[in-house]
A and B are shown apart, each in its own frame.
Chain A
Amino acid sequence: MSDKSSSPLKIKAAKKMRDLMTTYYLEALDAARNHRQVAWITSGGPVEPLVAMDIIPVYPENHGAMIGSAKMGEDLCAKAEDMGYSGDLCAYARSDIACAVVKGGPIGGLPKPDMLICCNNICGTVLKWYEIQARYFQVPLFIFDTPVCHTGYTPEIAAYVQTQVHEYIAFLEQVTGKKMDPDKMNEVGRLSYQGQRLWQQVLNTTARKPSPMSAFDAFFFLALIVTLRGTQVAVDFYKELIDELEQRTRDGIGVVPDETFRLLWDNLPVWHQLKWLSDRFSAHKACLVADTYTSAWCSALKYIDENNFLDSMAEAYTRIYLNIGVDQMAEEVLKMIRFYDVDGLVMHSNRSCKPYSFGQMDIMQIVREKTGIPVLMIEADMVDPRSFSQSQVETRIDAFMEIVKHKAGRS
């Protein structure tokens, strides 16, 4: 751990982002009073039509991350288990289901939804999870079904998903009793595209040496591209953040003092251990410069037509990182290893997230064979601390860093 004199300068934009997120949640919690509707939506779901129709999108998964970071996951997960849900169920689902009943968590529960939008491009658990919530809140549910693209995006998949885009709009028009304004939709689409492009630029800044921010910062700054995608607020914020990160690079400010080793992270963060993990790696002069998780909110940019968002959205939302084959996922990981020039890969085998964790052993072998860099697998859970042991993980990190140092020939 660094002493005070060499501790890195904080990223100033963090305060502004906290304020923006507070405003966003206050607005959502006040929705009913202001005669606005609220939709709960999955993290990888097509949010732009909601924004275009002035519906406030709320993300149980982002809420789950907040619960994890606030170290409130254990109680809520245990509550869900008391309600009869299995401990093997995703901790986001468990904490959300419990929170809806007990109104717990850092903000006293999410605002009651008027509708639920469930897109299964991130996992299959969301289907049952959203069905449960639709029954609990007695609200309509729209399921946006995106088949897994194991080898590619076939014409059959394209036609199937495109049909649902139209059904989705019709569903929203019916629930709100309003027609969608195509001009407004185009504008939101453009802002979403711009926001995602800027988010990619934010992540790209960490290819610089030393890295001006780490994956731990990216886990935090991610919240806006998830929750406020398609708004001017997100676009303006990321422009400011990029300026600050560029300035840090010009001033030679790295987030890890004396950055010597650069690492890539795979899977969701361990929300309840961010600081501890960050300190553990910093103590080895290692910076987790990038991750496969936060880049999921810009990885489908190449499929989006900025000027025709609604028609290109089907492909963009279907071909995200978690909805492609393991070979293609490995290819993405290899690209990131090269782009960010990393010395090692840290994989979080996440008890909660089966689609993310399944295939990691294969990706690990592919990475070892094609790059020769050391790969560490740590077992944990993104929200439930009962599946995590600091002393065991510490030993693994220390041993892994010893191998990284040896292979990189630096210490």
Chain B
Amino acid sequence: MIFAGIDIGSNTAKAALIKDGTLMGTRVMLTGYHHLKAGTRVFGDVLVQAGLSRSDVSAIVSTGYGRASIDFADKAMTEILCHGAGAHFLNPDIRGVIDVGGQDSKAIALDDRGQVDNFAMNDKCAAGTGRFLEVMANALEVSLDRMGEVSLTADKPSKISSICTVFAESEVISMIARQEKRENIIAGIHAAAAARVGILAAKIRIQGPVMMTGGVAKNKGMKAALETQLNQPLIISPHCQETGAIGAAVLASRL
């Protein structure tokens, strides 16, 4: 039997298909304004990619901020449960998950069966989320994708002391005015964001092995900063960005 998961995040929409405990395929696209349209398209794309049609799928679970908009899903579940299930599916040894998403970052503790035991999420403030990095990338005129590699060349990471995204941005602008090196500022931004996420991990006393999920996991600089912050290596799957959608498909198979 084939099961599907659709994850409508604030930035990107993801879809995943699983069959008999193996991953058949995933798709990612920008969410845009219309959640249902994005969900319909990303789901259609992943079906085409796998050479399947709607009727081949036994059950669908939606997740992410737009989860309630996906009216053709059998059930909507929170991204916390889905990232937990997805991480466990990708690596059953995982006991901790750090997900840095577009407007949320979260730390999740899993038990040995992959069930969510506890979680912590950022408060209303955007510091430590993907949005924070996006704002900084704009201010520094670096594409989001290149931030990671640029920061790895830093020789002396700048110190960002503001915890608020807006204040941090003006702090960064004043650093640009002082002609601090771009790579050092970016490394400082990663360290500041990692410190915020580190608080969430500490709140739930996260245990290893820890997997980092979400699109931000592709950012090598952010990974390195978090590893320093958490004092342990992070496991990153090639499917880090689609972990929520994969978890949703796993949970669909248990409906």
Contacts and interface: CB of A to CB of B under 8 A. Distances in A.
A398 B121 contact: no
Contacts of A398: 77-78
B65 A399 contact: no
Instruction: Label chain B's interface by main secondary structure.
Output: mixed
Interface residues of A, number: 20
Contact of B121 (A387, A396, A406): A396
Interface stretch (B111-119, B138-146, B233-241): B111-119
Interface string B92-128: 0000000000001000000000011111110110000
B78 A399 contact: yes
A379 B120 CA distance: 11
A367 to B, nearest CB: 12
Contacts of A377: 120, 203
A374 B115 CA distance: 13
A377 B203 CA distance: 11
Contacts of B118: 368, 374-375, 403
A399 B123 contact: no
Interface in A358-402: 361, 365, 368, 374-375, 377, 379, 387-389, 391-392, 395-396, 398-399, 402
Interface residues of A, dominant DSSP:
helix
A389 to B, nearest CB: 5
B124 A402 contact: no
Contacts of B169: none
A403 B118 CA distance: 8
Contact of A402 (B81, B203, B205): B81
Nearest to A387: B124
B80 interface: yes
Contacts of B123: 349, 379
Given A379-B124, A389-B124, A403-B117, A395 B203 contact: no
B79 interface: yes
Contact of A361 (B78, B79, B121, B203): B203
Contacts of A388: 124
Contact of B104 (A349, A375, A392, A403): A392
B81 A399 contact: yes
A280 to B, nearest CB: 13
Contacts of B115: 406
B234 to A, nearest CB: 22
Contacts of A368: 118
Interface string A216-230: 000000000000000
Nearest to A402: B81
Contacts of B203: 361, 377
Interface of A: 349, 361, 365, 368, 374-375, 377, 379, 387-389, 391-392, 395-396, 398-399, 402-403, 406
Interface of B: 65, 77-81, 104, 115-121, 123-124, 203, 205
Given A379-B123, A403-B118, 10 more contacts: A361-B203, A375-B118, A389-B124, A391-B65, A392-B124, A398-B78, A399-B81, A402-B116, A403-B116, A403-B117
